[in-house]
Structure formats: structure tokens, C-alpha cells
Amino acid sequence: MFYVGEPSIQARRLCETTYECMWLGIEMVRPGAFLGDVGAAIQQHAEGHGYSVVREFCGHGIGRKFHEEPQVLHYGRAGTGMRLQAGMTFTIEPMITRVSPRSASSRTAGPSSPRTTACRPQWEHTVLVTENGYEILTQSAGTPSPPKH
């Protein structure tokens, strides 16, 4: 993700919070954790800053096909969903917004509609569950460092 032009202070804060949300979700990844742990961490951080998770988009498994199960929701309850195992590979790609999750997906101006003017940043990484935690598969030169929290 990158800024086009000079963003407002509010837009910059939303983008930074979205980046933090992604990393908080990633940090939940380890064998024995649940997909709900990932979503709950993201949702709690977003809502704690007065934002909402856009629920129409989610992460996904990576395997023989690019998009496959499981769906990786960016909201939810800790301790629920699929239990993570070493070798699983999936994306974590939250999209966060200033508006309520329902108004973020109206029929006339959905989250990916060119007619909407709301700011809905999205960050994404592909993550491998390892024996001891996780590995980021999409990190490259120029990728921003994880946030300090």
C-alpha cells in the first residue's frame, strides 16, 4: 500500500492503524492458535481506535490454488475457528474504515467501488505457520518494518 498525494492526518492515522491491525493479526499465528484469534486481535485494535473492519473482504488460504480455504476473517472471537497447524499458508489482509461495517458496503458505493470517497486502506502479507510461530512469505526490500507496540 502507498499514499497517493499527501493524505490528511485522519487518513494517515487510519492507514497506520490498519498496518498495526495486520501485524497484530500476524502475531497471533502459531501452531495451536485459532483463526478466531487472528480476527479478534484485528477487530479489537480497529474498534479500539474508533474504526470498523470491512467484513466483505477476508484473507484466504494459499495452496495449489491462489484463493482457497480457509477464509481468514478479520473480525471474530478468540478461541474459535480452525486450529492452526504448522505448514498452513494464508493471507492476512485487513481492510479498515472510518464508517460502520454496514455502510462500508452499501449497494451504491461498496468498499471497492470507484464512486466512494471513504478511505479504506488495506495491507496484506502471506503467512506460513511454522513449528514455532510464523514466517512472512511476502516480505521484501522496501517493506515497512513491523510497528512497535
**CATH assignment of the domain containing 33:** 3.90.230.10
Residue 113 lies in a domain: no
Residue 90 lies in a domain: yes
Quote the pTM value: 0.85
Question: Distance between terminal CA atoms of the chain?
Answer: 21
Residue 46 lies in a domain: yes
**Dist. CA 74–CA 63, nearest whole Å:** 20
- Domain limits for position 72: 9-102+120-136
Residue 146 lies in a domain: no
Residue 145 lies in a domain: no
User: Minimal CA–CA distance to 81: which of 69, 68, 93?
Assistant: 69
Q: What is the mean pLDDT of each run of 10 residues along the chain (149 residues)?
A: 84 94 98 98 97 95 89 97 97 89 47 55 94 95 83
**Dist. CA 28–CA 143, nearest whole Å:** 20
Assign 3-class secondary structure to 14-76: HHHHHHHHHHHHHCCCCCCCEHHHHHHHHHHHHHHCCCEECCCCCEEECCCCCCEEEEECCCC
Domain count, the chain: 1
